[in-house]
Amino acid sequence: MRDGEVTRRRFLQSVGVSGGAGALFATMGALGLAPARAATPAFRPPQPSDFHLTGRAARKVVVLGAGIAGLTCAYELGKAGYDCTVLEARDIAGGRNLTVRGGTALTDLGGRTQRAAYSPGTYFNAGPARVAQWMVTLDYCRELGVPVEPFVNANADTLIYNEAAGPPVRMRTAKADLYGYVSELLAKATDQGALDGRLTAEDRQRLLAFLEDFGDIGAAHEYTGSTRRGFSSYPGAGEDAGTPLPGPASLSDVLASEVGRYLSFEFGYDQAMMMFQPVGGMDRIATALAAAAGRHRIRLGARVLTVTGRDADVVVTYRQGGREHAITADFCVAALPPHLLAKIPHNFSAEVSAALAAFVPFAAGKIGLEYRSRWWETDLRIYGGPTFTDLDITQIWYPSSGFHDRRGLVVGYYNFGEVAEAYGALSPAARTARAIEQGVKIHGAKYRTELASAFSVAWERMPHLEGAWAYPWSSFRPLLEPAGRVYFAGDWLSQAVAWQHGAFLSARAAVTALHQRVLTT
């Protein structure tokens, strides 16, 4: 039996012992919640002892890009003693994990510089902002000691605003009306025997019991409103039973208002509550990860010029401080945006080059509006969450932290694709003006008069990123294998594009493959 096989067996046996997703779902399986099989084996971080039995030693690795994937590679490989160097073109680690605070300055590809004038304590998560509870991102928060708090991704009291439909309505009102009418229609169809071919007598009875409760339609099977819609004045002291909101509108009007199109957002497997955020800003993760990987290992302002794989090593040249440098390592993990990596001179195979070139970057923009008062809490009783609109701002997010503080930061738009590009093409001041103009339609004059300052990011215009995320237009399978001694990692090589979860998992996959190779060849 070769040493490599011993090591491999140990490696596989340790899966499920060290915790992580595999162990998690095995536990769930035992409870009947899930099958005991996980699609991806649980991640087992490399560790120094892995080398004891093999006579092998940790190697030198150059990591391209200090985004979440690159930092994770350096952090995880570093656990076993790999000598990692991370090259990062920007002057800050974290990639799109960017939190803007007072004083943050950014210059876009067009040379336009913004400097954030936010008050102390105010921050704006310009990139990723939320973490679902099943995501591995939370495991890294736990491991790195980054405290988390709820991120409000759904709230009954946020608004829906479709411009042609008139004044905004609360999410709870839209929900009550649609669920009420849907229940009424289905209950009546059931009553009339329209579903007799499909339902047994028992099914029918159970379905009707469900609908009466789900739609609050009563035994008459008629939706005539519900306390679930909310009140203009909530039930109070003595005999004050509250003032119900006017309505409901007719079924036709509710359908025509198109409020229903926003209701399924909160059902998404990646968007359903509960969701979380690091306390104090998303960059707490990047900062903790960079510190854990070792700050001295990260070369900032280091732009990669060439990547050349050779039989026994990889040579990467880069420009830093106005000078050209070269680094030679046993392995490389390329964790740059794929559309930028494709343009860097390299000696990858034609297949690998084509796979990289097939990624198409996507535009997205966000604006962080700091307000002098938290009028959304005091005037509208909205404590966090998204308001949905059919305006080009798409969404407005009220803050998930600092409740009852004096000031607060509202995300004035989070938009994608063409509308994001249109905003991105404007000057920062013009973006703010447009975002405010749109928000005033929903929130009235305070949306303008209470504004303290604004900062916007157009990700497709960010140097060294040039996109919010990137999708492959053909299979990325060639990139899941190393190109010689070069491995690839990033959310773009995962099924969770645009999520840090995808970056973490892709990095783990690259680390696992690289480490297994070192241990077994």
| Amino acid in the structure at residue 459 | W
Nearest CB to its own copies, comparing residues 155 and 308: 155
Tokens representing residue 209 in the block: 């019991």
Nearest CB to its own copies, comparing residues 365 and 439: 439
* Residues within window 424-483 making contact with its own copies, judged by CB under 8 A: 442-444, 476-477, 480
Nearest CB to its own copies, comparing residues 267 and 350: 267
d(CA 139, CA 135): 8
Nearest CB to its own copies, comparing residues 411 and 509: 509
Nearest CB to its own copies, comparing residues 36 and 53: 36
Please report whether residue 382 would count as binding its own copies according to CB under 8 A. yes
Name the β-bridge partners of 84: 61
- Size of site (CB under 8 A) for its own copies: 127
Binding its own copies (rule: CB under 8 A), the pick from 4, 8, 15, 24 is 24
Please report whether residue 211 would count as binding its own copies according to CB under 8 A. yes
Nearest CB to its own copies, comparing residues 38 and 411: 38
Q: Are 495 and 124 in contact (CB under 8 A)?
A: no
* Residues within window 149-168 making contact with its own copies, judged by CB under 8 A: 149-150, 152, 154-157, 159, 166-168
Binding its own copies (rule: CB under 8 A), the pick from 118, 179, 459, 469 is 179
In sequence order, the 6+-apart residues with CB closer than 8 A to the CB of 198 are none
At its nearest, how many Å lie between its own copies and the CB of residue 438?
A: 15
Beta strands 408-416; 385-389: pairing state: unpaired
Please report whether residue 385 would count as binding its own copies according to CB under 8 A. yes
At its nearest, how many Å lie between its own copies and the CB of residue 510?
A: 8
Nearest CB to its own copies, comparing residues 296 and 404: 404
At its nearest, how many Å lie between its own copies and the CB of residue 319?
A: 31
At its nearest, how many Å lie between its own copies and the CB of residue 149?
A: 7
* Residues within window 115-144 making contact with its own copies, judged by CB under 8 A: 133-135, 138, 141-142
Nearest CB to its own copies, comparing residues 40 and 474: 40
Strands (E), 259-407: 275-278, 298-299, 303-309, 314-320, 323-329, 331-334, 359-362, 364-371, 385-389, 395-398
Please report whether residue 176 would count as binding its own copies according to CB under 8 A. yes
| Alpha helix (H) residue ranges in 294-345 | 338-341
Please report whether residue 147 would count as binding its own copies according to CB under 8 A. yes
Angle separating helix axes 68-79 and 500-520, nearest 10 degrees = 40
d(CA 77, CA 137): 18
d(CA 135, CA 499): 9
The piece of 35-43, 121-129, 319-327, 413-421 that touches its own copies (CB under 8 A) is 35-43
* Residues within window 326-345 making contact with its own copies, judged by CB under 8 A: none
Nearest CB to its own copies, comparing residues 136 and 298: 136
At its nearest, how many Å lie between its own copies and the CB of residue 119?
A: 18
Q: Are 488 and 510 in contact (CB under 8 A)?
A: yes
In sequence order, the 6+-apart residues with CB closer than 8 A to the CB of 351 are 478
The piece of 198-206, 299-307, 310-318, 462-470 that touches its own copies (CB under 8 A) is 198-206
Please report whether residue 391 would count as binding its own copies according to CB under 8 A. no
Binding its own copies (rule: CB under 8 A), the pick from 218, 235, 417, 463 is 235
At its nearest, how many Å lie between its own copies and the CB of residue 217?
A: 11
d(CA 130, CA 277): 5
Other C-beta atoms closer than 10 Å to the C-beta of 230 total 19
Sketch the per residue contact string, 255 through 284, with its own copies: x for CB under 8 A, - otherwise. Answer: xx-x-xx-xx--xxx--xxx-x--------
Phi and psi, residue 378, nearest 5°: -75, -40
Can you tell me which residue has the tokens 């007598």? 201
Binding its own copies (rule: CB under 8 A), the pick from 194, 360, 429, 430 is 194
d(CA 69, CA 510): 10
d(CA 121, CA 118): 8
Closest CA to 260 of 333, 145, 204, 180: 180
Phi and psi, residue 189, nearest 5°: -60, -40
Binding its own copies (rule: CB under 8 A), the pick from 6, 28, 109, 433 is 28
Binding its own copies (rule: CB under 8 A), the pick from 251, 291, 305, 433 is 251
Start-to-end CA distance of the chain, whole Å, equals: 14
d(CA 419, CA 421): 5
At its nearest, how many Å lie between its own copies and the CB of residue 263?
A: 6
Can you tell me which residue has the tokens 């997205």? 364
Please report whether residue 113 would count as binding its own copies according to CB under 8 A. no
At its nearest, how many Å lie between its own copies and the CB of residue 120?
A: 18
At its nearest, how many Å lie between its own copies and the CB of residue 408?
A: 13
Nearest CB to its own copies, comparing residues 363 and 503: 503
**b/e 119-136 (16+ beta carbons within 10 angstroms → b):** eeebbbbbbbbbbbeebb
Environment class of 468 (CB within 10 Å of its CB; exposed 0-12, middle 13-18, buried 19+): buried
Tokens representing residue 410 in the block: 């509202």
Binding its own copies (rule: CB under 8 A), the pick from 304, 396, 493, 514 is 493
